[in-house]
Structure 1
Amino acid sequence: MTDSQLAIGVDIGGTGIKGALVNLTTGELVSERFKIPTPEDGEPEAIAHTVLEIVNQLPEEAEGKPLGICFPAIVKNGKTHSAANVSKRWINFEAEKLFTQTLGRRIRFINDADAAGFAEVKYGAARDTQGAIIVTTLGTGIGSAFIYNGVLIPNFELGHLPYQGESYEKFAANSVREREELEYPVWAERLQLFYSELEFLFSPDLFLVGGGVSKSHEKFLPLLKLKAPIIPAALRNNAGIMGAAALAA
Structure 2
Amino acid sequence: MGIDIGGTGIKGGIVDLGTGELVTDRFRLDTPQPATPDAVAETVAKVAANFDYTGPVGVDFPGVVMDGVVQTAANVDKAWIGTSLLETVGPKLPGPSFFLNDADAAGLAEVRYGVGAGHRGLVVMVTFGTGVGIALIHDGKLVPNAELGHIEIDGHDAETKAAASAREREELSWEKWAKRASKYLRTLEQLIWPELFILGGGISKRPEKWVPHLKCRTPLKVAELINNAGIVGSALAAFEAAQVGAVVPGAGSPR
Please give the TM-score of this superposition, normalised by the length of structure 1.
0.91
Q: State the alpha-carbon separation in 2 of the partners of residues 215 and 165 from structure 1.
A: 30
8 Å contact 1:221–1:231 — kept in the other structure?
no
User: What letter matches 2:211 in structure 1?
Assistant: L
Aligned to 1:211: 201
Q: State the alpha-carbon separation in 1 of the partners of residues 58 and 218 from structure 2.
A: 31
Aligned to 1:234: 224
Within 5 Å, give how 1:97-112 maps onto structure 2: 97-103=87-93, 105-112=95-102
User: What letter matches 2:212 in structure 1?
Assistant: P
Please give the TM-score of this superposition, normalised by the length of structure 2.
0.89
* Structure 2 residue 236 is matched with structure 1 residue 246: yes
* Structure 2 residue 17 is matched with structure 1 residue 27: no
Equivalent of residue 123 in structure 1, options 105, 113, 126: 113
Aligned to 2:86: 96
Q: State the alpha-carbon separation in 2 of the partners of residues 169 and 103 from structure 1.
A: 33
SS in 1 for 2:21: coil
Within 5 Å, give how 1:65-214 maps onto structure 2: 65-103=55-93, 105-214=95-204
Pairwise CA distance, 1:51: 1.2
8 Å contact 1:114–1:154 — kept in the other structure?
yes
Moved more, 177-186 or 20-29: 177-186
User: What letter matches 1:206 in structure 2?
Assistant: L
SS in 2 for 1:207: strand
Aligned length: 239
User: What letter matches 1:116 in structure 2?
Assistant: A
Q: Which runs of 5+ in 2 are unaligned?
A: 240-255
Does the C-alpha gap of structure 1 residues 70 and 230 become closer, same or farther in structure 2, counting only changes over 3 Å?
Answer: same
Q: Which runs of 5+ in 1 are unaligned?
A: 1-7
8 Å contact 2:70–2:83 — kept in the other structure?
yes
Deviations 1:16-69 (A, max 9, x none): 11111000111100012111111112111221121111111103xx22x21000
* Structure 2 residue 47 is matched with structure 1 residue 58: no
Aligned to 2:7: 14
Pairwise CA distance, 1:178: 1.5
8 Å contact 1:78–1:109 — kept in the other structure?
yes
Q: What's the RMSD between the two structures over aligned residues?
A: 1.4
Q: State the alpha-carbon separation in 1 of the partners of residues 76 and 131 from structure 2.
A: 15
Q: State the alpha-carbon separation in 2 of the partners of residues 92 and 13 from structure 1.
A: 18
Q: State the alpha-carbon separation in 1 of the partners of residues 78 and 13 from structure 2.
A: 27
